[in-house]
Copies of this chain bind each other. A is one copy, B any other.
Amino acid sequence: MSTSTVRPSETAATRLRPLGAPQATVVDGFWAERLRTNREATIPHGYDQLGRSGALGNLRLAAGADGQYQALTDTSGTTFPFLDSDVYKWLEAAGWELGRGPDAELAAASDEAIGLVAAAQRADGYINSFVQVLGGGLPHRDLAWGHEFYCVGHLIQAAIAWHRALGDDRLLDIAVRAADRIDSEFGPAGRPGIDGHPGIEMALVELTRATGEKRYLTLAARMLELRGQGLLGQGRFGSAYWQDHAPVRDAPTVAGHAVRQLYLDCGAVDVAVELGDDGLLESVRRRWRDMVDTRRYLTGALGSRHRDEAFGDPYELPPDRAYAETCAAVASVMLAWRLLLATGEAGYADAIERTMYNGVLPGISLEGTLFFYTNPLQRRTHRASEPGGHGERTPWNACACCPPNVMRLLSSWQQYVATSHDGGVQIHQYASADIRADLPGGEVVLSTRTGYPHDGHLSVQIGQTPDAPWALSLRVPGWSRSATLTDPAGTRPVGPGEVVIERAWAAGDTVELALDMPVRLTEPDPRVDAIRGCVAVERGPLVYCVESADLPAGHELEDLVFDAGRSPAPADRTDVGPGSFVGVDVPLNRRGAAADSMVARAIPYYAWANRHAGAMRVWIPRM
């Protein structure tokens, strides 16, 4: 049985099967370091913050304790009602993490949190601390803004993690009762209802996958079909804000609130593959293509508008006012993963790579305890005298959706490394990892070793193999311009896409993939107005940036332009806090003074804002 976060059923229309955590283990290198930070710093920090923010205390109140409900309140007096989901997302991360290895403190904190959730749930299965404490205990009075289904969706996802990673069904029992309560009111025989914030759809599909009970999948499909009929009204931002402007299978492009759209499309893929609904799957793929072509930042970030956290118009991708919510990057990884499983197309794994390194990781500090909610690609200045300046990383967000979202993604990240199908094993993400996969002929055991993302060399060693031939697939990333593959048959050049090596393998066989990693200068699409006349620096899967901390003394980033007469070049190993990476020396001039030339050390964008506040640019002007 797979422990994966997404686990299509045996009959699902997917090309690839996830491996799951114990079958893919990151053992060393870049990702091992990030996963260790997540486990040892971020997740404990998160539990502390759940206590401080009131998220845990609110569940205690729902269970009957006395006290004051704590919640983010905006100045109009409206209280945001979704803090329960912070607890559930943290519990999901804790579940995957405990599945990776025991930790007494983490287990104790989890037991406490699970106990609070269990105590808060009503006898009828309903659970939502906001409604129970502040809302008079009257469920489902405001589906558009109440986030009640949304919170149950995250409860289910936490339950799935504990069920699959640990065989612990305490949360699953709670989640089933909560889902049954919703199904009884909103199922096929009940009233129509959808949540203003999608998310429960994918969770309900997973609940069917975990329990075998088809009702939840049916409810998810019903919620998808009910969308686009105007049930949510216009709200403050119009019906597209919550993707209620068009039926899911008809909407031509992504629209509205980015996280809502991406979570919705995750649910649509899950329903589509379970029901074999090719039209629904194709509608998601169409939206994905349009999004990548017209509305995705170089960093993989999504959603440019601050006002309604929305995708903007095509090519509306300002670097300075990029909203680029960390959660939207997380959600796009979740969606790309589903599309990869469904189709097997390497482009989706390319998207996961770009977004993980450049869209998700910048949302958390290198030390693991400070977060960005928005991830701009440019910061002009940061002076105390500029009250409109962008803020620094914070230990928690008032609306704390992003931090535990990063936690749960990182704690399940090794699941994204590889997949299998009856014909072989596919390596999608490069890390030093040990991988096992069950093929029809027997178990495959292999290990990958690499200095990725700073070094382009990957070594695959076959540790155990069935006698029958099977295919090892490696992904040559879309950014690669020169790569060679060495397998037992010899050495050959390979280009972007999936490279399939089908043969009868023997234990001890090795495959070497060498991806050349020159510094690349990336020109923007000329239709992206906001970065016209600029250039970006990339190397391997990493987007780079220039921070004011790395400028020669006395220079302001805003006065500098790229020196087209000189070339950027890889630099020595560069350290920023606990981060160590290949820097890139970027040639710059002072604008209008070509003789005033200098070099700035660019660093990976994921490492920005880990020193003192300052200006930063991904896109560097040519003029």
Contacts and interface: CB of A to CB of B under 8 A. Distances in A.
A530 B387 contact: no
A591 interface: yes
Contacts of A236: 74-76
Given A145-B76, A315-B558, A316-B321, A307 B310 contact: no
A97 B553 CA distance: 60
Q: For A307, A314, A386, A388, which residue has the most chain B Cβ atoms within 10 angstroms?
A: A388
A256 B74 contact: no
Interface in A586-618: 591
Contact of A530 (B145, B313, B318, B389): B318
A11 interface: no
Contacts of A421: none
Interface stretch (A101-109, A118-126, A265-273, A377-385): A377-385
Contacts of A239: 387
A186 to B, nearest CB: 21
A49 interface: no
B75 A235 contact: yes
Given A76-B76, A312-B321, A388 B240 contact: yes
Size bracket of the A interface: 35 or more
A532 B623 contact: yes
Given A307-B307, A388-B240, A316 B591 contact: no
A313 to B, nearest CB: 5
A385 B253 contact: yes
A238 B321 contact: no
A493 interface: no
Contact of A533 (B76, B246, B307, B623): B623
A49 to B, nearest CB: 20
A274 interface: no
B621 A532 contact: yes
Contacts of A532: 532-534, 621, 623
Interface string A523-537: 000110111111000
B255 A526 contact: no
Contacts of A246: 387
Contacts of A316: 320-321, 380
B144 A75 contact: yes
Contacts of A77: 78
Given A75-B235, A316-B380, A621 B145 contact: no
A306 interface: yes
Q: For A245, A315, A318, A532, which residue has the most chain B Cβ atoms within 10 angstroms?
A: A532
A526 B591 CA distance: 9
Interface in A517-549: 526-527, 529-534
A241 to B, nearest CB: 8
A413 interface: no
Contacts of A430: none
A240 B387 contact: yes
A428 interface: no
A305 interface: yes
A252 interface: yes
B320 A529 contact: yes
A230 to B, nearest CB: 13
Contacts of A403: none
A319 interface: yes
A311 interface: yes
A85 B140 CA distance: 37
A77 B77 CA distance: 9
A319 B313 CA distance: 13
A578 B158 CA distance: 63
A145 B529 contact: no
A284 to B, nearest CB: 17
Contacts of A389: 313
A253 B314 CA distance: 34
A313 B388 contact: yes
A378 B320 CA distance: 17
Contacts of A378: 529
Interface in A247-291: 252-253, 255-256
B386 A253 contact: yes
Nearest to A320: B316
A526 B589 CA distance: 14
Contacts of A145: 75-76
Contacts of A530: 318, 320, 529-530
Interface in A284-341: 305-307, 310-316, 318-321
A388 B306 contact: no
Nearest to A76: B78
A381 B305 CA distance: 16
Nearest to A245: B387
B314 A380 contact: yes
A131 to B, nearest CB: 15
Interface string A62-80: 0000000000001111100
Contacts of A319: 529
- Counting from the closest, the 5 A-B pairs by CB-CB distance are A240-B387, A76-B78, A533-B533, A306-B307, A75-B236
Given A74-B76, A255-B387, A533-B533, 9 more contacts: A252-B385, A306-B307, A312-B320, A312-B321, A313-B386, A314-B386, A318-B530, A526-B621, A526-B623
18 contacts: A74-B76, A75-B144, A76-B78, A240-B387, A255-B387, A256-B388, A306-B307, A310-B388, A313-B381, A315-B380, A316-B320, A319-B529, A320-B529, A321-B321, A378-B529, A527-B558, A529-B531, A532-B534
Interface of A: 74-78, 144-145, 235-236, 238-240, 245-246, 252-253, 255-256, 305-307, 310-316, 318-321, 378, 380-381, 385-390, 526-527, 529-534, 558, 591, 621, 623
